[in-house]
Amino acid sequence: MKVNIKSQEGRILALLRERGEQGVKVYELIAPKPEGLGIAQYNARIFGLRHKGYNITNKEPGHFVLNEYTPKFVFNPDTQMYEQM
């Protein structure tokens, strides 16, 4: 499976990876650009990422964290996509 880095799922995934243990607050996902990602249907996108194997947890309500190790996918800079190993 692939996740395009330019898609809403890809942008959420990139932000979660960037933030690490700090995580991402809901308002950062739904706030309009440039302050946020401007993704109103963030729950559907997170559901999709979880379905693809990413371990995203709620540290507290409205605070999402990507667990450090997700072995199923790697980022391929040539295709600009996350690809299944």
The sign one gets for the Cα dihedral 44, 8, 10, 21 is negative
Note the pLDDT of residue 1: 58
Tens of pLDDT, residue by residue over 18-77, are 999 999 999 999 999 888 999 999 999 999 998 888 899 998 999 999 986 555 667 788
What's the whole-model pTM score?
0.77
Q: Rounded mean pLDDT of 1-27?
A: 90
The domain tally of the chain equals 1
Note the pLDDT of residue 70: 54
Give me the CATH number covering residue 17.
1.10.10
Residue 46 contacts residue 64 (beta carbons within 8 Å):
yes
Structure tokens at 21: 């243990």
Q: Which domain holds residue 20?
A: 2-84
For residue 66, what is the DSSP state?
E
